[in-house]
Amino acid sequence: MWTMSRPKILSPVSSFESAVGVVSAGADEIYCAVQIPGAEHILNRPAGCCVSTYDELGNIARYARSQGVDTIVTLELPFMSEFMIGQMREHIASCMDQDIDGLIVGDLGLLTLVRDMGLDIPLYASTYLVALNYEAVDFIRKLGVKRVILERHMSVEEIGQVVQRNPDVEIEVFIHGSGCSNINFNCYLEGGRRKVEALQQEYRGTKGLPTPCRTPFDVYEIGDGERKVTRAPILDGYTFCALCRLPELFEAGVTGLKIVGRCLPITYQVKTTEMYRKLVDVIAQEEIGRSRRAHRRRLMRLIEPFKEEPFQPILPPSPGLSSAPPSIRETLCEEGRCYFSPLFHVPYRPSRRSRRRFGAR
């Protein structure tokens, strides 16, 4: 007989109010950060993505604990340098004073710093440590990490292999929101937030935040006079949602299902948590039969109605358009914005002319 685990739902929190919201909505764990001055120049996280003070973090952690929910703090910087030692020691100590339950660390130097400070707290390896395979997870495990958050670009099958090969470490995966086609740690496209904000009006109607990778580029073939091929959002892979893959993630044995959205409105954080709470409970309650395939079919039928839930757009609705928020089906499914979609999935179509001239199929 095959088995299924029941993973935890990890929800994003950006304030005490959002913590109350997502905990009430059914989050098993919450994660948040307190802004480090200057970090926005590396991570491009505006102030609104973070809890504003250590005191507020303390209030969040106490409230969450009273509800049986763990508070995990991301250290926010996937970077450590000598000139930051004092600042980071102070930041880590201030977070620790708030009685939190775990630290997410995205840099080997920071990991060393936390260990050197002699802190007794579970460590979570951030996606910024780029664990893409079971050997990388094993390497990170040996550094004393309790949980590894996998990089987004893995298939469910690969995730399952990682879980099997690393039984002594918890595995967490992203499932919803702000899917990024580039490897976070190796991507420097963000950081131009001010420029992005200035261009929001121009790109109104783009689904999701118009980061540079999601906007069109003029594409020229190098050599032969650098002729223009087409104009396309060529740097984005459009991944967002994992509704349909939840049954397989259960089977794979992951510990945590992470919802992205610290920078998004509280309503988004709450509604998305609610939806996944219902869905995870529905899947967990469904009796396991002898046939895995039949079980998956039953689960897929249960998942279908969830696709009609509204997908909260980040930008306000454009004037003149219907105020009814589009559903997940319309926003994500119909455009193939799916986590774990094939690696070479193409969400845009090169023009017929460019296909003919440059051999794009």
Partner 1 sequence: MKLSVQADHLKSFKEALSSRCQGVRLGSEFCEQLLPRPCELEEAVELAQQAGKAFTYITPRLSNAGIERLREQLALLNEKGETWVVFNDLGALNLLGHYPNLHPHIGRHMLLVPARSPWVEQHLQREDLSVRRRDWLRALFASTSLNYRPTIELYRGYGCQRVDLDWLPRTFPSLTFLVENGLRLSVHLHLVPATFTRKCHTARFLREESPEKCSKPCLDRAFLLRNEAFGLEFYLHGNVAFRLAEPHPEAVKELENLRVAELVLTMNPVTGIDSAEKIDATMSKLMADER
Among 68, 225, 316, 342, binds partner 1 (CB under 8 A): 342
**Of residues 34, 31, 123, 122, the one with CA closest to residue 69:** 31
Among 234, 244, 302, 333, binds partner 1 (CB under 8 A): 234
The answer to whether 86 contacts partner 1 (rule: CB under 8 A) is no
Distances in Å between the alpha carbon of 252 and those of 165, 210, 246? Answer: 12, 33, 10
Task: Count the residues of the shown chain that bind partner 1, applying the rule CB under 8 A.
Answer: 77
168 lies in the site for partner 1, by CB under 8 A: no
Of the residues 32, 49, 131, 242, which one makes contact with partner 1 according to CB under 8 A = 131
Report the alpha-carbon distance of residue 198 to residue 273 in Å, rounded: 31
CA 98 to CA 60: how far, in whole Å? 9
Q: Cβ of residue 126: shortest distance to partner 1, in angstroms?
A: 12
Q: How many CA atoms lie within 13 A of 321 on its CB side?
A: 10
Shortest separation between residue 168's beta carbon and partner 1, angstroms: 15
Distance of alpha carbon 259 from its chain centroid, rounded? 6
Is 139 a binding residue for partner 1 by CB under 8 A? The answer is yes
Name which of 194 and 301 has its Cβ closer to partner 1: 194
Interaction pattern, residues 43-62, with partner 1; x per rule: CB under 8 A? --------------------
Return the structure tokens found at 349.
């179509």
Q: How would you class 109 by CB atoms within 10 Å of its CB: exposed for 0-12, middle for 13-18, buried for 19 or more?
A: middle
Binding positions for partner 1, 243-302, rule CB under 8 A = none
Supply the minimum distance, in Å, between the C-beta of residue 15 and partner 1.
25
What is the C-alpha R_g of the chain? Answer: 21
The yes or no reply on residue 360 touching partner 1 (CB under 8 A) is yes
Residues of span 95-124 touching partner 1 by CB under 8 A: 107-109, 112-113, 116
Q: Which of 171, 175, 213, 332 binds partner 1 (CB under 8 A)?
A: 213
* 348 φψ region: left (φ > 0), alpha (ψ -120 to 50), beta (else): beta
CB 337 within 8 A of CB 238: yes
209 is a site residue for partner 1 (CB under 8 A) = no
